[in-house]
Structure 1
């Protein structure tokens, strides 16, 4: 239906648009309309609907023909970002910062992205919460649990096999890990009627076709970042990047978190914290959250190993349903 593409969809009267959104629930088994909603972020917005499907929230994302990828600035760095970038790249003897950044981005191309239902939040891979009544699991990890509970640590992962977390009530929550390969993840989702987004779809979900480096602009927003960590009134509040984007999706908000996609690059949205932990400064440290960033430093052997066990503490996924 052409009405599901943004050019026509955004021009529909509110009553027609809501009728169209309601009809999606009638056509897809298990899909339940929860609420109509409008999301706005970084001067872009979308009228959409929130649905419940398989125990999770999804939003409708209209299709569109957009330009994706990055090879030059729309506006350029402001003075603070330029200084930050120059200082960092100077330590590595990189003279042409724009060319270096471009080498880390996906190529510029024009694509048509289909309309879809997209899961709002990320899902973990390979982790399963243990039941408090599972005495065998509790007994097996008793020493680790006792040690964890004697500390003030809120979260601990042991050899990618066990994760211990302290709940808001102070109760220790156990999660155990079982390896999942990239192919197993794809096949499992397909059998359930879901897909992972392709790189094109992911970049559209992230930036909506915006042409700036980050979806909030070409310059890093230091005020946005610092107010989160330094303002007392922000304690416990989400970072601005963690808030829903223009489609109502939580995406590319944490440089530590990879998101798995169904494409040759297979990872988007983060770098496992490699840059930010390497003392690269804020702008470069958050470069992996740029809309078109494409991790490219893995060798063939490392990529094979990663795909053999795609889960862990830094790798997540979201499900989509193409319409």
Structure 2
């Protein structure tokens, strides 16, 4: 592997000091994603919605959006379960990049550059960095605005590990798992007027956006592949 260290900084995360390391390779910046045994997914047995979140979801449900009798039931359908996994340390691109090939052809295109797609677990770990909250920045989101068209907001901040990730609901990031996409739903919830909370939920760290994934990997999604992206990984 060739590259140079472009920056090292220390940030506060989960009550401890965390080191962000950026490496530049071939004009692209990568962040160091530590490995080890990590906990992923949202623990719905202990998570509690705020009154505002519950009310916003109930309003969406009354208009025919969402699924299940309440917010917790809906999240159980779209979020990855709480679990422990062991991951290797990798370098992951700070910015996602648009696909240059059909999803099925991207692994070979990336391999020619010495890169690969992340696994779904790697993406979730890189996004949340151990935070057991709904979003990478916490459990709450602004319910007075949608996560699009704003230059400010928690989604615009870099992640704990220094990635620009889960920042725009119009984004759709692919991994090696064809049953999931991450970081957004292509703007479906915003354009569809599903409600404010449902517009934010595609940015949830553990959201696998299963209905969007089904579309992306269907024949209907082939013509839109340039609107999808992935976050290249450089193995160590």
The interval holding the TM-score normalised by the smaller chain is 0.7 to 0.9
Of residues 180, 202, 225, the one that matches 1:311 is 225
Partner of 1:118: 92
Output the CA distance in 1 between the equivalents of 2:220 and 2:175: 13
Query: Compared with structure 1, are the counterparts of its residues 89 and 298 closer, same or farther at alpha carbon in structure 2 (3 Å cutoff)?
Result: same
Partner of 1:269: 183
Query: Compared with structure 1, are the counterparts of its residues 45 and 320 closer, same or farther at alpha carbon in structure 2 (3 Å cutoff)?
Result: farther
Query: Compared with structure 1, are the counterparts of its residues 214 and 43 closer, same or farther at alpha carbon in structure 2 (3 Å cutoff)?
Result: farther
Partner of 1:283: 197
- Taking the TM superposition and a 5 Å limit, the aligned residue runs for 1:107-186 are 107-126=81-100, 180-186=101-107
Partner of 2:29: 57
Of residues 191, 195, 211, the one that matches 2:116 is 195
Structure label with greater radius of gyration: 1
| Structure 1 residue 62 displacement after superposition | 1.1
Output the CA distance in 2 between the equivalents of 1:112 and 1:46: 19
Aligned residues: 234
Of residues 125, 134, 156, the one that matches 1:242 is 156
Output the CA distance in 1 between the equivalents of 2:95 and 2:22: 12
Q: Secondary structure at the match of 1:219?
A: coil
Structure 1: which 5+ residue stretches go unaligned? 1-27, 127-179, 230-235
Query: Compared with structure 1, are the counterparts of its residues 299 and 204 closer, same or farther at alpha carbon in structure 2 (3 Å cutoff)?
Result: closer
* Aligned 8 A contact 2:181 2:213 in 1: no
Query: Compared with structure 1, are the counterparts of its residues 302 and 272 closer, same or farther at alpha carbon in structure 2 (3 Å cutoff)?
Result: closer
Name the structure with the higher helix share: 1
Of residues 57, 79, 101, the one that matches 1:105 is 79
RMSD of the TM alignment (CA)? 2.8
Q: Secondary structure at the match of 1:312?
A: helix
Instruction: Give the alignment's TM-score, normalised by structure 2.
Output: 0.86
* Aligned 8 A contact 1:252 1:269 in 2: yes
Structure 2: which 5+ residue stretches go unaligned? none
